[in-house]
Amino acid sequence: MKHDNSLKAVKLAESLMPGGVNSPVRAFKSVGLSPVVIKKAKDSKIYDIDGNEYIDYVMSYGPMILGHADERVVRAVSSASSDGFSFGATTEREIELSGLINKHFPSIESVRLVNSGTEAVMSALRLARGFTDRNKIIKFEGCYHGHSDSMLVKAGSGALTTSVPSSAGISENLSKDTLIAVYNDISSVKELFSVHKGEIAAVIIEPVAANMGVVLPKDGFLQELIDLTHENGALVIFDEVITGFRLSLGGAQGLFNLKADITCLGKIIGGGLPIGAFGGRRDIMEYLSPLGPVYQAGTLSGNPVCVSAGIATIKAMEEDDAVFKANEAADYLVSNLNEEFKKTKIAGKIAINHISSIITIFFNTGKVGNFKDVMNSDTNSFKNFFAAILNEGIFMAPSQYEAMFLSSKHTKSDLDNTVSIISKILS
């Protein structure tokens, strides 16, 4: 593949933006390549400015479960745009989207729309502290909850990719209130509750970790966590920015039949447009202003264009059974990859973690069940693998620590081609 136009664009970008990007992973630094520059996308395909076509497994890091540029969502965005982009006032559309969220997430009795997953988490943590009158938060190493200051401690996603598990610019006073537990290890949580008795406001977790690569919860771990947290008078926050409306229409909570006290949602509820939400038990949410003492606000919250895209996306997902189709595609891909891997020289050197329509191929000889296991992965092998598949027309996240996302528009031909290419590269 030729990338002349992308190379020129990247050189210009680097003179105008830090690292030439507006989000660190896009720089391709961990894989030692210059990034491709994307022009457009449709269904399961994405196209760069050199005209190269790729089967897309990034899917904007999750929200494009209907594939790119679904016509129903495009029409909804166009119609809403013609009525005006932003009003700074309540609209019927944001009420409708809130109703759809409540329909699929019964634990979200009341919801506040915001502008990103990061903002949803930041606001949820403030609410938890205000409601409990406690300051400390437990998070799990390798889980990523956006880039608000208190959450960039032992973080996943881009913070791992750039080898910066924390960040400069975060005050010691802020980070000391963030306590770190080990994912899938309930004893590590018990110890923190014991040492910091009566001080912990909430435990926040990705119910399925997806920002250190896909790491599944052990059977019973999430319910144990909920019970333990409630026994200690703290709240449970599920960060379902990745899993919400993807693992099932009701997210991880729907799939595992669980209820969080507060849930954070992200860009999938806007069909890929910038939006987020946090919501939960009514008594907790009523601590938010204008009803309660916890302040949170945003001029663009409930933006009419974004919520229109979200309404169209969720309704289309219901109509198409999109979650089932995406899951079916992922099952087919994983099953066939595993069969091919048995025939290659890398048999036993790769682990695939997979749930619903999210997948990570770890270059790892053992089972990957927590952050420590993830960090034992062979990133050099991933680097070589990434360069090879990109050149063959497969677009994955340029990091060992991210997930592959399937959509309802990935065809059998896409999947068969992917298996064939990967098998050839690894044989």
Q: Which residues are catalytic?
A: 144, 239, 267
State yes or no: cis peptide before 290, omega within 30 of 0: yes
Residue 332 neighbours by CB distance under 10 Å? 16
Do residues 93 and 307 lie in contact, with contact meaning Cβ atoms separated by under 8 Å?
yes
| DSSP-H helix ranges across 31-166 | 71-82, 92-104, 117-132, 158-161
CA dist., res. 355 & res. 209, Å (int): 11
CA dist., res. 93 & res. 257, Å (int): 29
Interhelix angle 221-231/186-195, rounded to 10 degrees, is 10
CA dist., res. 133 & res. 252, Å (int): 28
Which residues are registered as beta bridge partners of 276? 114
For Cα atoms 157, 423, 213, give the angle at the middle one, nearest 5 degrees. Answer: 15
Judging by beta carbons within 10 Å of its beta carbon (0-12, 13-18, 19+), is residue 384 exposed, middle or buried? middle
Residue 124 contacts by C-beta under 8 Å, 6 or more apart in sequence? Answer: 202, 204, 237, 262, 264, 278
